[in-house]
Amino acid sequence: MKKIVLGVATILALNTTAQVNWKLDNSHSKLGFSVTHMMVSETEGKFKIYQGTASTKSDIDFTDAKIEFSADVNSINTEDEKRDAHLKSPDFFDAAKYPTITFKATSMKPVTKGKTIYNLEGELTMHGVTKTVKLQAIGATKTVKDPYGNIKYGFKVLGKLSRKDFGLTWNAALEAGGVAVSDEVKLDLNIELNREK
């Protein structure tokens, strides 16, 4: 009898620590950013080619999730071909030398117990420089099943970073004071995940 009880306990323990794997749904996600232009307005952009994975302990709890994302710098799109070409040049991202941006989570903690809002930290590598960034990830209240039987979950991820921290220092001074492009970059990501079967 004792052996049977221990066996059941072991099975239960394994079930509660089972790993859930997720893959980014590129068709329903967005890796967006914006900067202040000429001190008066915001210019927005995004990366069109990217991939990502996550591993969690359950369908809804992303505490200490293992998360990795990467984006193709050459896929940057600000709806202006001339500007996009400048951003890919050595003045900014230098895409020929540094073609990929990567992110690897190091910590993901709920802001309040039982809530799906997380403080997300990780190592962001861009332009050959790796820095720790702090983001906020606002999760959906539950998973959903699409018409094809896929289990889905989503996040809105927000944050800010300094271009200079990553060696992206190009700018132009304005005659009336200030600069053409802000150092601060606002991140605005919509992340939809598919649970792997």
| Structural domain spans, the chain | 19-195
What Cα–Cα distance (Å) separates residue 133 from each residue in 49, 153, 176, 186? 21, 23, 33, 12
- What pLDDT is stored for residue 51 in this prediction? 97
- What pLDDT is stored for residue 18 in this prediction? 76
**What is the phi/psi pair of residue 15, to 5°?**
-65, -35
- Asked if residue 65 has pLDDT above 50, the reply is yes
The residue with greater pLDDT, 103 or 178, is 103
Q: Which of 14-23, 93-102, 130-139, 167-176 has the lowest mean pLDDT?
A: 167-176
Residues ≥6 apart with Cβ < 8 Å to 172: 179, 180, 181
* CA–CA separation, 181 and 185 (whole Å): 10
* CA–CA separation, 170 and 180 (whole Å): 10
- What pLDDT is stored for residue 85 in this prediction? 94
- Asked if residue 25 has pLDDT above 80, the reply is yes
- What pLDDT is stored for residue 110 in this prediction? 94
* CA–CA separation, 120 and 111 (whole Å): 10
**In whole numbers, what is the pLDDT of the chain averaged over residues?**
86
* CA–CA separation, 107 and 80 (whole Å): 36
- Give the model's confidence band at 170: pLDDT under 50 very low, under 70 low, under 90 confident, else very high: low
* CA–CA separation, 93 and 88 (whole Å): 5
- What pLDDT is stored for residue 12 in this prediction? 43
Mean pLDDT of 140-159: 94
| Token pair recorded at residue 65 | 């999730």
* CA–CA separation, 170 and 15 (whole Å): 52
- Give the model's confidence band at 171: pLDDT under 50 very low, under 70 low, under 90 confident, else very high: low
- Give the model's confidence band at 40: pLDDT under 50 very low, under 70 low, under 90 confident, else very high: low
- Give the model's confidence band at 175: pLDDT under 50 very low, under 70 low, under 90 confident, else very high: very low
Mean pLDDT of 31-46: 79
* CA–CA separation, 156 and 151 (whole Å): 18
- What pLDDT is stored for residue 41 in this prediction? 62
| Token pair recorded at residue 145 | 């099943």
The residue with greater pLDDT, 129 or 112, is 129
* CA–CA separation, 1 and 8 (whole Å): 11
| Structure-token match 């598919």, residue found | 194
DSSP 167: T
Diameter of the chain measured on Cα atoms = 85
Domain 19-195, second-level architecture: Beta Barrel (2.40)
Beta-carbon count within 10 A of 173 CB: 9
Burial class (CB in 10 A: 0-12, 13-18, 19+), 103: buried
